[in-house]
Amino acid sequence: MSAGLDNLRHVVVLMMENRSFDHMLGCLTADDSRIVGLSGNESNLDTQNEPVKVQPLAQFQGQLDPDPDHHFPSVHQQLFNGQYAPGAVPTMDGFVLNYYQQQKDVNHSHKIMYYFTKDKLPVLSTLARSFAVFNGWFASIPGPTICNRAFAHYGTSFGQVSMDVFYYSKEYLSIYERMVKNGHTAKLYYFDQSSSTMEVVNLLQDQPQLFGTYPQFLDDCKQGTLPEYSFIEPNYSDHEGDDGGEQLASDQHPDHDVQAGEYFIASIYNAIHQNPDLWKSTALLIVYDEHGGIHDHVPPPACTPDGFVANPQATGVPGLSFAFDRLGVRVPAILVSPWIPKATVVTGPEDKVNGRTFEHASIPGTVTSHFLGNYDARSPREKAAPAFLDLLSDQMRPETDVPVFNLG
């Protein structure tokens, strides 16, 4: 066991919303060729049969409105563009054509190929370059938020591929319930009551004791009372706070302000970093739930089937059942800890020898393995998902070697 792992007392996961790897971090290939981002030549055809290259023109807000469709049928088009066959490798060339359907505006459909330059995302790009960035972290399902977030909580979506309400099977407990039942501590922190949690049906209404709020997270960091496992949800809406002040959505879900999300991520990092005892004993994973319909060029790989099958009525694609045997689109994922060597790049499918493919089931899988050890009542996907805490090394980096975010 490494010294970093030996010192680890807390795992914190911050799950943001709806941005693909290439959209947020694709520019970093220019700085470090080990990062599997964009060369600038990746393209999709538009409805005029003209190639549309990726372009570094992404703005914080105002481009991806309406919200790009990312329900199962649309993602199916984005991945295969009508070329689907069982076992086929996704072609990743249907993003522009799919987005066109929402506005019927050729120029507008090109914006789905835009990506950010690193100067626009100082927090995410700094963390990616300073700690560990994953080349191969994929959404768990080629579909929308709720079912993908379920994988982070339960290691499965219990056969769901949509946003519909569903009730989970007690066969697989949430990671929070597993922790608490075994004498450990865990909490989901939602932003505030106007934002609430996406786990309202399955957890909040029956087990409110598992929840806290973002201000409580900040307090828990300051007081040294953070649970062993914490999951943080950003603010999902623009709304007025109890004091009448404006609360800007920080989830980065289109068309919310991406810069507000940057600020939020920095605040989470700072809260942990500013408590020296917490800093040396915590690993923070920043990850996105799914791609939100936005372009990424890496084909999602096949994966261990989940033991469930969504029929054609559930998938919304005529004649297509889905056995949860292929992952969703690649998303940004960064692991932060002072025990991670600077500029670590975790190789993915591009590395045929040592590459590892992560997905959201890796979250409960990793937390369970670290805190609980052997635990059999887990989904096949979670059992197969690789853990990520082996990235912690024996050397703790000095303060002069880690970023400090000055919040303006």
Partner 1 sequence: MPTPDNVVYVPKPSPASFDKNRPLARNLLLQAHVQHIHEAESHLPPERQSGIDPGSIRTEGEAADYIRRVTYALHPEGARRERVRRAT
Q: By CB under 8 A, name the binding residues for partner 1.
A: 17-18, 60-61, 65-67, 69-71, 122-123, 126, 144-146, 163-165, 190, 192-198, 200-201, 204-205, 208, 211-213, 215-216, 219, 236-240, 242-243, 246, 248-249, 251, 253, 255, 257, 259-260, 262-263, 266, 399-408
Over the range 279-289, which residues count as b (16 or more CB within 10 Å of their CB) and which as e?
Answer: bebbbbbbbbb
Question: Helix, strand, or coil here: 262?
Answer: helix
At closest approach, how far in Å is the CB of 96 from partner 1? 19
Q: Count the alpha carbons within 13 Å of 327 in the hemisphere toward its beta carbon.
A: 30
DSSP 8-class letter at 306: -
At closest approach, how far in Å is the CB of 305 from partner 1? 26
Closer CB to partner 1, residue 6 or residue 65?
65
At closest approach, how far in Å is the CB of 302 from partner 1? 27
Instruction: Please provide residue 5's backbone torsions phi and psi, each rounded to the nearest 5 degrees.
Output: -70, -35
At closest approach, how far in Å is the CB of 135 from partner 1? 23
At closest approach, how far in Å is the CB of 104 from partner 1? 16
Q: β-pairing, 229-232 with 10-16? A: parallel
At closest approach, how far in Å is the CB of 87 from partner 1? 30
Among residues 148, 136, 197, 110, the alpha carbon closest in space to that of 345 is found at 136
Closer CB to partner 1, residue 118 or residue 356?
118
At closest approach, how far in Å is the CB of 292 from partner 1? 9
CB 236 within 8 A of CB 195: yes
Closer CB to partner 1, residue 177 or residue 325?
177
Question: Helix, strand, or coil here: 300?
Answer: coil
Closer CB to partner 1, residue 17 or residue 382?
17
Q: Where are the alpha helices (DSSP H) in 331-375?
A: 362-371
Among residues 20, 44, 18, the alpha carbon closest in space to that of 115 is found at 20
Closer CB to partner 1, residue 266 or residue 285?
266
CB 345 within 8 A of CB 35: yes
Closer CB to partner 1, residue 44 or residue 197?
197
CA distance 92 to 301: 12
Closer CB to partner 1, residue 80 or residue 190?
190
Tokens of 28: 């970093």
At closest approach, how far in Å is the CB of 259 from partner 1? 4
Closer CB to partner 1, residue 263 or residue 375?
263
What residues have CB less than 8 Å from 168, skipping those under 6 apart? 150, 154, 158, 174, 202
Rg (CA), the chain: 20
